[in-house]
Amino acid sequence: MAEPSLAQQSFLEQRKRKLRAITLARIFIFLLFLLIWEASARLHLIDAFIFSSPSRVCEIFVSMMADRSVFMHIGTTLAETLLSFFLVFLFSLLTAVLLWLFHSLSRILEPYLVVLNSLPKSALAPLLIVWLGANMKTIVAAGMSVAVFGSILTIYTGFSEVDPEKVKLIYTLGGNKRDVLRKVVLPSSVPIFINTMKVNIGLCLVGVVIGEFIGSRQGLGYLIIYGSQVFQLDMVLMSIVILCVMAMILYQGINLVEKHCLKRF
């Protein structure tokens, strides 16, 4: 393999420097925010009881680490989010395939999917508690309800927009609709799957937290509600920070899956 030219090397170096500068700027903004927040609390510019501070959040996190309770709550929310995420993707994919295979079925169900996708999902959570009880199934169902209908519509739309010339080629070579699905539609829709997963992982986390608000005794959503009820706002902010970190890690995990899929496809 030929070595890159001087111009290429210069371009790559400039690109690396730009990426490093962007990363440093992000870190600087984050640290500056923490510094201003902490200084404002210590100088009594804000009420530390209401707004807390980075040091107080760290203190309650360390105290909950000592009795390992924080790990139980993180593990509960993470497990419920991942389970709802995988169920959403599986159910959405299977439903989108059925809609694509049976066009009349898609025309019948599409208005209902649009309406259900527009429905405020938080309104379903109390009903799920009544129907399923206050247990993990309810929390997973709440997580699924936020993402599943939009996911079905997105994947089905992606199936419908596959290159028609490739579809004609399969039929010309004697293939049938199932061959079109396996050879053209599914491989061509991999970018759609990845983008849908990126959206769904965050939506499932939101749905799980909503479910934990109403019918759970474990999880970060429960900690937020419990902390607000007993005025332990340090606990509330700690749970929110953990949720932000969790969302970022899960999103980066999808990015790793995307890089792996791009190499294969």
pLDDT, tens digit, 9 for 90 and up, residues 53-79? 899 999 999 999 888 889 999 999 999
Do both 97 and 136 map to the same domain? yes
CATH of the domain at 145: 1.10.3720.10
Do both 37 and 103 map to the same domain? no
The reply to whether 51 falls in a domain is no
With 80 as the cut, is the pLDDT of residue 123 above it? Answer: no
**Under a CB-based contact definition with an 8 Å cutoff, are residues 207 and 84 in contact?**
yes
Do both 242 and 185 map to the same domain? yes
The reply to whether 171 falls in a domain is yes
The reply to whether 1 falls in a domain is no
Do both 111 and 168 map to the same domain? yes
pLDDT, tens digit, 9 for 90 and up, residues 23-40? 999 999 999 999 999 999
Do both 149 and 35 map to the same domain? no
Instruction: State the Cα–Cα distance between residues 260 and 195, nearest whole angstrom.
Output: 14
Mean pLDDT score of the chain, rounded to an integer?
Answer: 87
Do both 81 and 111 map to the same domain? yes
Do both 24 and 100 map to the same domain? no
Which among 200, 185, 241, 252 is positioned nearest to 53, based on CA atoms?
241
Domain hosting residue 10, numbered range? 6-46
User: Could you give the number of structural domains in the chain?
Assistant: 2
**Ranges 163-167, 193-197, 234-238: which has the least confidence:** 163-167
Instruction: State the Cα–Cα distance between residues 239 and 53, nearest whole angstrom.
Output: 13
Do both 37 and 78 map to the same domain? no
Q: Which helix (H) or strand (E) holds 204?
A: helix 190-215
Residue 82 is predicted with a pLDDT of 95
Instruction: State the Cα–Cα distance between residues 58 and 53, nearest whole angstrom.
Output: 9
Do both 10 and 112 map to the same domain? no
Residue 7 is predicted with a pLDDT of 72
Residue 120 is predicted with a pLDDT of 79
pTM to 2 decimal places: 0.85
Do both 159 and 234 map to the same domain? yes
With 90 as the cut, is the pLDDT of residue 87 above it? Answer: yes
The reply to whether 237 falls in a domain is yes
Do both 102 and 189 map to the same domain? yes
Do both 17 and 67 map to the same domain? no
Which among 209, 73, 216, 207 is positioned nearest to 135, based on CA atoms?
216
Q: Kindly list the distances between the CA atom of residue 176 and the CA atoms of 57, 96, 157, 162, in Å, as whole numbers in the listed order.
A: 60, 18, 21, 16
Residue 187 is predicted with a pLDDT of 87
